Structure 1
Amino acid sequence: MTQDLLKIEFSLPEADYDAAVLFLSTAIQHGWEESQAVDGTTHFSTYLENHEEGREVARQIGARWPHSGIRTEEAQSQDWGQSWREFFTPIECGGRFEILPPWLSDEQHAEFTPIIIEPKMAFGTGHHPTTALCLTCIADLNREGHIAPGMEFLDLGTGSGILGIGLAKLGLHGLGLDIDPQAIACARENAEINAVAEAFSVAVGGITTLPEDKRFQVIVANILSKPLIFMAKDILSHLAPGGCLALSGILVEQAQDVIRAYKRLGLPDPVQRDEGEWCGLLWTHVVRAEGAES
């Protein structure tokens, strides 16, 4: 039995692109489709299960960009998967990973580690800059010898599980947490598709659901700036001494606020890696931070 969804479509000129991506990143937990015309206009399309929420998102888009031609229509859930098939293209990240949908898995390139993602209504297909940025950070950590097989990781806000799957394919094992049950179901399915379910387990929950004494040698969190600031002490309390921490989902203009929150707990300045309006923050060999319980 299919479920009715609300489809939202609108188009904006190049000058409005960055602001639109910022808005969508904060208003929608999963992804959206983009297609660009020759003149630089970008057409955006997304689906929402909650019609009231979707109508509010559409109302805000119409208020912010009256020239966007915003329109909504009822659609069946099967259209979601079909629409992804029409635009999903393989993505290379960090010279190490290649993100592919199942229907293109036979076209993977031997020089990359494949991550097969079944596109569904959960954030993290690799098309969003923050996801690609975080995977690039993971590839760099591996290349530079900061992470190695056998280490244990936490993927906080796992979404589709893409980051945890990438770590598991490098020989690490760990846990993915997300407060959205739909995302966890998606992450579990993707872990099975990639044959890493034994190394990568997932569960509904947040950082405070972990046992107080649980430590991870690697923590990755692709969320948003405010939650990362709010959870700073809890995140650091679960990072093992000498571990690595990678944070993303951060706008470049918000990076200093996040950095200050972690420096107040004893961390040094991170390595900051920017991609357009977004950035990732990376700490390696983290010593015990002030305020983090042992």
Structure 2
Amino acid sequence: MSTLLKIEFTISEEEADEAGVFIAARVPHGWEETPDGDGRRITLYLEDHPLAMEMVKAFEARFPGSGVRWSEQESENWAMAWKDFFNPVNCGGTFTILPPWLENGSENGTTHIVIEPKMAFGTGHHPTTSLCLTTIGELAGRKAIAPGGAFLDLGTGSGILGIGLAKLGLTGIGLDTDPQAVVCARENIEANGVGSAMCTAVGSIDCLDPGLPFDIVVANILSGPLIEMAGDILAHVRPGGCLILSGILADRQKDAVAETYMRLGIGKPAIVVEGEWACLVWDRVGGHRRP
């Protein structure tokens, strides 16, 4: 029977953004952050034990004194492990994210997105995910996006952002370079009843037909790829469409990302910040030029 390695350590609030970048660069799937005194407890699971033990050593070296600890856990108990700390997440007034065991069919004024916690990033707990969903809800509220529109969810992870858009009546595609994430996204898409509205594929922006237009493009990845792919991403935003970028540290990455896109002629973004993370939003993308 296969096992997972549960890894936990505690960091200060001052180290939280650095830890997020450190983990995201090395682990292609999710982790959980929960308050722990004056800091945060990081919890993540890895399947490959040799790789997992290397990660334990890397965390210990990078964050000495963080109390890194690990334990083996049967993989069949993955969902049970999440039950210890998975609480519903409200994203603005539009969406509520919750796991299957808390879904009772009563939406109480919000649109429910049911996510089965697995190995792919995107349970709604991370600020970048909730920032994007809140922004999507606000865009829908002021009719900047509408039913019948087309979306691209770049770096779909668990599929959560695309599912939210599909539940608002849009159709589109979720792309991710991690095959495991795409499998997880497909399961969540079917569980939310939007299988006919959202398709998935393993790949990045370059796997799309050049110039294929979308009314909204959402990319919750990292600042480096957002900068590198700026021209390609913009090529897929329909004139007058919306663009949401996240996975960006507010204090030292948002300006560089914003300036890259502004140089392509789309003007200044609205910037929404939650903690150390930022979301850049253009709600009416005009003409732009290739770099």
What's the TM-score, normalizing by structure 1? Answer: 0.93
* Residue of structure 2 in register with 1:117 after alignment: 115
- Residue 6 (structure 2) pairs with residue 7 (structure 1): yes
Partners of 1:221 and 1:14 in 2: how far apart?
A: 26
Partners of 2:89 and 2:107 in 1: how far apart?
A: 11
- Residue 272 (structure 2) pairs with residue 273 (structure 1): yes
Q: Unmatched 5+ residue regions in structure 2?
A: none
Partners of 2:114 and 2:18 in 1: how far apart?
A: 30
What's the TM-score, normalizing by structure 2? Answer: 0.94
Alignment: residue pair count = 290
* Residue of structure 2 in register with 1:59 after alignment: 57
SS of the residue 1:20 aligns to: helix
Aligned CA-pair RMSD: 1.7
Residues 59-82 of structure 1, C-alpha deviations (whole Å, 9 max, x = no match): 222112221221233332123211
Instruction: Name which of structure 1's ranges 177-186 and 60-69 shifts more when overlaid on structure 2.
Output: 60-69
Query: Of 83, 93, 96, which residue of structure 2 is paired with 1:95?
Result: 93
Post-superposition shift, 1:207? 0.5
Q: How does 1:124-273 map to 2 (within 5 A)?
A: 124-252=122-250, 253-273=252-272
Partners of 1:254 and 1:41 in 2: how far apart?
A: 23
Q: Unmatched 5+ residue regions in structure 1?
A: none
Contact 2:98 2:112 in 1 (8 A): yes
Post-superposition shift, 1:139? 0.6
Partners of 1:259 and 1:271 in 2: how far apart?
A: 10
* 1:281 partner amino acid: L
Contact 1:8 1:58 in 2 (8 A): yes
Post-superposition shift, 1:171? 0.6
Greater share of helix: 1
Partners of 1:36 and 1:65 in 2: how far apart?
A: 17
CA 258–3 in structure 1, closer or farther in 2 if over 3 Å, else same: same
Residues 100-156 of structure 1, C-alpha deviations (whole Å, 9 max, x = no match): 101111175411100000111000000011000000110111111100000000000
* 1:211 partner amino acid: D
SS of the residue 2:65 aligns to: helix
Quick one: percent identity of the two aligned structures? 52
SS of the residue 1:135 aligns to: helix
SS of the residue 1:122 aligns to: coil
CA 14–287 in structure 1, closer or farther in 2 if over 3 Å, else same: closer
Post-superposition shift, 1:13? 4.2
* 1:277 partner amino acid: E
